[in-house]
Structure 1
Amino acid sequence: MSRLQHFGWFLARGFGPHGWGHPYLDWNYRWTEPTLYQDAVRALEQAGFDLLIIEDAPSLGSAETIDLRVRQAFGGPKLDPLLLAPYLFAATRHLGVAPTVNPAAYLPYTAARQFATLQHLSGNRLGLNVVTDTGSARHFGAAPPLGHDAAYDRAEEWLGGIRDLWRSWPDDALIADPARGRYADGTRLEAVRHRGEHFAFDGPLNFVPFTDGEPVIVSPGGSGRGLGFAGHNSDIQLALAPLDESSIRAYRAKIHDAARAAGRRPEDVKVLFAIQPVLVSSPEEADRLVAASAHPDEATLRQIAERQSSDLETDLTALDLDAPLDTAVFGEHVSHGSIRRLVGAHAPDATLREILTAHARLGRLSDGSGFVGTAGELADRIEELGTWGNDGVLLWGDLHPVTVHRMLDELVPILRRRGILRAEYADGGLRANLRSF
C-alpha cells in the first residue's frame, strides 16, 4: 500500500557556480544572481516538495587544497545561502528553505534575531541545516579548531542558547491590543543570562514570538555524536545509508533511540534519505551506463579524487594510487562520516585505486545495486522505502532548472498517481507540512 512521503532537494554544490562543467552552462544563467534559483524553486514547489536544503562551506579550505577546491568549482567559490533565502521565499508560497549554518560563524544573539526575522518574513518556512565543520575555525577567531565531538558540544550549546532567546517572550507578553493602547508587557519578558563554555550573552531577544513554531532544524551528522545531536535537537535528519531494508531500518532505529533518550517521540524527527539518481530513458540505456562504469580510466579516477579531495580537505591526487590508503592522512577536523563514505566497506589494506574505482562504478535501481534507471524504477524504489516506514527522500543535485526538470518531469506524475507525493500543502509553513502526515 503506497503512502505519502516527504520530499526535499539537497543542493549539494551550495550557492556556487551552477552549470559549470555541464553543457547547460550555455543557458546563460548567472549563478551570482537570484533568477536561476528562483526558477528552480518554483518548479520544486509545483512538484509538491517540502523543502530545499542548501549546502555551504564558509572556507576555501587549507592552503594545500584551495586549488583543488576551486579548479573545477567542487568546493568553492560559494556565496552565503542565508542571504539567498529571502529571494527564494519571495518566489514561492509553501516551499521551506534550509540554508546551512555553522555555529562558529554566528554569535547566538545575532543568529537568533536574524533567523527569527527570516522565519517571520517567510511565513514560517525557514529551516536551518546545522553543521559542525571546524575547518573554517581560523576565519572566525584565534582559537584552535575543536575536535569532532567538541564541535557538537558547541553546536548543542549554541542552539540551546538561541532557543532560550526565542522563548524569552512568553505568549502572554505580546498584547497588541489597540483598544487598551498596549502593545506588550515588558514585565513578562524573561531575562536570559547565558554563561557557557563557548558563549556568553544576555537576553531577552528583541523580536516578537513566532505564530507557527520555531524554524525547523536539520542535521546531517552520521557519527554516534551526530546522531545524538539529531535525537536531541533536529526535526529532520539528512540521512546517508545504503537503501536496503536492513540498513534503512537500522539507521531509523538509531535516530528513534536517540530521540527517546532525549525525551522526545521518534516521530518528532523525520528521517530523509539522500538519493543521487541518474535517470535515463530506458532500462537498456541504464544497463549500458552501468557496464561502461566498471572499468574507469585514469582521468575518471583523477576527477573522483579531486572531488573527494575537496570534501575531505586532503589532496588525494598527491597520494600513490596503488598504495593502501592510510586514514591517518585526514586531520581531526575532517568529518568522520565523509571518511567512512570514502572508504566504504573496503579492508584497511585497500589501495586508493580500489577505493576510487568503487566510487566510479554505477549500479542499477532495478536490482538495488545503485541509482541508475528510469523514472519508473526510481518511483518503485521510493515506494519500497515507504513500505519500510520511511519518512521521505532528498534528491541530491545542482539547483539548475535543467537539472530539476530532468529529474522531475517524468517522476512527479508517477509519484502522484501512486499516492506517494503530496498534491496540496498544509497551512502554517514548513513545520506544519512536516506534521501533516
Structure 2
Amino acid sequence: MSRPQHFGWFLARGFGPHGWGHPYLDWNYRWTEPALYQDSVRALEQAGFDLLIIEDAPSLGSPRTIDLRIRHAFGGPKHDPLLLAPYLFAATSHLGVVPTVNPAASLPYTAARQFATLQHLSGHRLGINVVTDTGSARHFGIAPQLDHDGAYDRAEEWLAGIRALWNSWGDGALIADPAHGRYADGALLAPVQHRGEYFSFDGPLNAIPFTDGEPAIVSPGGSGRGLAFAGANSAVQLALAPLDEKSITEYRAKIHASAVAHGRSPDDIKILFAIQPVIVSSPEEADRLVAASRHPDEAAIRYIAERQSSDLETDLTALDLDAPLDLSVFGEHVSHGSIRRLVGAHDADTPLRTILAAHAKLGRISDRSGFVGTANEFADLIEELGSWGNDGVLLWGDLHPVTVHRVLDDLVPILRRRGVLRTEYAAGGLQANLRAF
C-alpha cells in the first residue's frame, strides 16, 4: 500500500469563459453563472480532493496588448474568484476553495474582514493564493508598480497586517455567555496600530476569532524571493519543476530550508507539483496522440502562437515564423520567466516555428517524456513521486464537468485502491485536511 498524497485542482484559466474554443461549449453552461463550477466541485469533493485553486489576473494587460489577451479569451475576461467562492462552498462540505488575491488590490483591513467572513461561512475551508503581480498597479490608484522583490516585500507586510488583525481578539475576549448576558470583553481586544512602508491602518478587526485555524495561505512563486515567502508564510506551495527525482528533491529541500529558517517545521507546508495529464483509454491511443503531435499543422502552430501571444503580451502571429526569434520584440513589461518558458533550450538561431512546434509536442507518461497515458500509467507516476517524499499534486485544467470527469473517472478508483487518494475527510476544515498526513 502506497503512502497517501494530497490532491488539488488548479483552475488555470481563472473565472473566465470556460468552454470557449472547445467542443464542450455546446453543453450550454453559462460561465458567468455558478452551476458550471458547482457541478465540477461536487465531483472534486466526491473524488477526495483537498482543494481547488482558482487562478486570477485582475488586469487585461497594457493598453497596447489588450486585444491579444481577449481576442481568443486566453487572458481575459476574468471575474473575481473571491466572489465565486461562496457558491462553491454552498455546493460542498469538505473541499477547500482557494481564490487568487493580489495584495495591491485590497487593503489589509478590508481583506482581513472579507477573508474572516468567508472562513466562518465555509466551515474553515478558505485558502488564499497570494500573487505579487506588479503590472496591475495602475488600476488601484497606488504608487508606480514595484519591482519583483518590492512586490514581495509589500505582500509580506500585507499578510503580516492581516494576521495581526485576525489575532486582535485575545484569548477569552469572545465570551458569548447568554446566562450572564456577556458577549465579549473589549479589554482583551488589541488595538493593532500598523504604520508600515506600504500600509497604515488600525484595528481591532470587526470579526470574531477562528475556531479551526486561519485561512490556508498558498503561494506560487519559484524565484528565491518567492520560495522565501512560501517558507515563511504558506501552508501550500504551488510548484512547477521537472518531475524527476533530482529536481523534486532539490526543490523540496529549498522550501523546507526556508521554512526552518523562518522558525517553522518542514511539515508545516505541503508542496504540490502542478501537472496537466491527458488520460486516454489505452497505451495505443496514447502512442497515436504523441505521434500525431510530432508534426503539428499550421492550425496547431497558430493556436500555440495565439496562446503564447496572450501570456507574453506580444503578437507572435505577426512575426516571420521561419526566421529566428528576436528577443528584443518583448518589452520590459514581459516576464523574463515567460520568455524563458517560450524559448526553452533553443538557441538564438532557432526559427520561431520550431520553438512553437516544441510546445505542441506531447510525450508519454510511461517513459516520463510527458503526460499522455492511461489512468494506470498516471497512477504509477503519482506513486513514484510519493516514493521520493512528494506531498501531492495539483491537476491543471479547466473547471468544466467534461474536463473533470475525463481526467478523474478512471483515475480515482485506481488511486483509491492503491491507497494514494483519501477516502474520507478530517474534521476541522482545510487546514485539518492538510495536516492529516
TM-score bucket of the superposed structures, by smaller chain: over 0.9
- Could you say if the C-alpha distance between residues 157 and 315 of structure 1 is closer, same or farther in structure 2, counting changes exceeding 3 Å? farther
Q: What amino acid does structure 2 have at the position aligned with 1:400?
A: H
Distance 2:15 2:262 in 1: 34
Task: Judge which range, 337-346 or 66-75, deviates more.
Answer: 337-346
- Could you say if the C-alpha distance between residues 171 and 339 of structure 1 is closer, same or farther in structure 2, counting changes exceeding 3 Å? farther
Structure 1, residues 170-226: CA drift from partner, whole Å, max 9, x if none?
A: 121111112222111111111111111111111111110000000001111111111
Contact map agreement 2:24 2:402 (CA 8 A) in 1: yes
- Answering whether residue 87 of structure 2 is matched by residue 87 of structure 1, we say yes
Contact map agreement 1:321 1:352 (CA 8 A) in 2: yes
How much has 1:70 moved relative to structure 2? Answer: 1.2
Distance 2:145 2:295 in 1: 40
Distance 1:322 1:264 in 2: 52
- Answering whether residue 236 of structure 2 is matched by residue 213 of structure 1, we say no
- Could you say if the C-alpha distance between residues 325 and 144 of structure 1 is closer, same or farther in structure 2, counting changes exceeding 3 Å? farther
Structure 1, residues 286-334: CA drift from partner, whole Å, max 9, x if none?
A: 1111111112223322211221222222333334434444545445554
Distance 1:151 1:327 in 2: 25
Distance 1:313 1:177 in 2: 58
How much has 1:336 moved relative to structure 2? Answer: 4.3
Q: What amino acid does structure 1 have at the position aligned with 2:393?
A: V
- Name 1:182's counterpart in structure 2: 182
Q: What amino acid does structure 1 have at the position aligned with 2:114?
A: Q
How much has 1:94 moved relative to structure 2? Answer: 0.1
Contact map agreement 1:129 1:217 (CA 8 A) in 2: yes
- Name 1:295's counterpart in structure 2: 295
Which 5+ residue runs of structure 1 have no aligned equivalent? none
**SS of residue paired to 1:370:** coil
**SS of residue paired to 1:201:** strand
**SS of residue paired to 2:63:** coil
Task: Judge which range, 233-242 or 332-341, deviates more.
Answer: 332-341
**SS of residue paired to 1:415:** helix
- Could you say if the C-alpha distance between residues 262 and 342 of structure 1 is closer, same or farther in structure 2, counting changes exceeding 3 Å? farther
**SS of residue paired to 1:171:** coil
How much has 1:385 moved relative to structure 2? Answer: 0.4
Q: TM-score, normalised by structure 1?
A: 0.97
Distance 1:195 1:382 in 2: 47
- Answering whether residue 235 of structure 2 is matched by residue 235 of structure 1, we say yes
Contact map agreement 1:221 1:337 (CA 8 A) in 2: no
- Name 2:74's counterpart in structure 1: 74
Contact map agreement 1:147 1:332 (CA 8 A) in 2: no
- Could you say if the C-alpha distance between residues 178 and 331 of structure 1 is closer, same or farther in structure 2, counting changes exceeding 3 Å? farther
Which 5+ residue runs of structure 2 have no aligned equivalent? none
- Could you say if the C-alpha distance between residues 347 and 328 of structure 1 is closer, same or farther in structure 2, counting changes exceeding 3 Å? same
Percent of pairs with identical residues: 83
- Name 1:410's counterpart in structure 2: 410
- Name 2:100's counterpart in structure 1: 100
Contact map agreement 1:133 1:333 (CA 8 A) in 2: no
Distance 1:202 1:331 in 2: 40
How much has 1:255 moved relative to structure 2? Answer: 0.9
Contact map agreement 2:191 2:203 (CA 8 A) in 1: yes
Contact map agreement 2:287 2:364 (CA 8 A) in 1: yes
Contact map agreement 2:68 2:314 (CA 8 A) in 1: no
- Could you say if the C-alpha distance between residues 76 and 306 of structure 1 is closer, same or farther in structure 2, counting changes exceeding 3 Å? same
1:369-384 alignment to 2 at 5 Å?
369-384=369-384
Contact map agreement 1:145 1:333 (CA 8 A) in 2: no
How much has 1:57 moved relative to structure 2? Answer: 0.8
RMSD across aligned positions (CA): 1.5
Distance 2:334 2:161 in 1: 26
- Could you say if the C-alpha distance between residues 117 and 331 of structure 1 is closer, same or farther in structure 2, counting changes exceeding 3 Å? farther
Distance 2:236 2:334 in 1: 23
For these two proteins, the number of residue pairs brought into alignment is 437
- Name 2:25's counterpart in structure 1: 25
Contact map agreement 2:171 2:188 (CA 8 A) in 1: no
Contact map agreement 1:238 1:271 (CA 8 A) in 2: yes
Contact map agreement 1:51 1:98 (CA 8 A) in 2: yes
- Could you say if the C-alpha distance between residues 264 and 345 of structure 1 is closer, same or farther in structure 2, counting changes exceeding 3 Å? farther
Distance 2:332 2:178 in 1: 57
- Name 2:276's counterpart in structure 1: 276
Q: TM-score, normalised by structure 2?
A: 0.97
Q: What amino acid does structure 1 have at the position aligned with 2:201?
A: F
Distance 2:142 2:233 in 1: 28
Contact map agreement 1:273 1:393 (CA 8 A) in 2: yes
Distance 2:64 2:397 in 1: 27
Distance 2:325 2:180 in 1: 72
Contact map agreement 1:146 1:333 (CA 8 A) in 2: no
- Name 2:65's counterpart in structure 1: 65
- Name 1:254's counterpart in structure 2: 254
Contact map agreement 1:223 1:336 (CA 8 A) in 2: no
Structure 1, residues 53-111: CA drift from partner, whole Å, max 9, x if none?
A: 00111111112221121111111111111000000000000000000000111011000
**SS of residue paired to 1:65:** helix
How much has 1:350 moved relative to structure 2? Answer: 4.1
Distance 2:356 2:262 in 1: 39
Distance 1:395 1:121 in 2: 26
Structure 1, residues 206-247: CA drift from partner, whole Å, max 9, x if none?
A: 110000000001111111111111111111000111111111
How much has 1:343 moved relative to structure 2? Answer: 2.8
1:219-368 alignment to 2 at 5 Å?
219-327=219-327, 329-347=329-347, 349-368=349-368
- Name 1:4's counterpart in structure 2: 4
Distance 2:322 2:114 in 1: 50
Distance 2:286 2:420 in 1: 24
Task: Judge which range, 307-316 or 278-287, deviates more.
Answer: 307-316
Distance 2:267 2:341 in 1: 27
**SS of residue paired to 1:82:** helix
- Could you say if the C-alpha distance between residues 147 and 316 of structure 1 is closer, same or farther in structure 2, counting changes exceeding 3 Å? farther
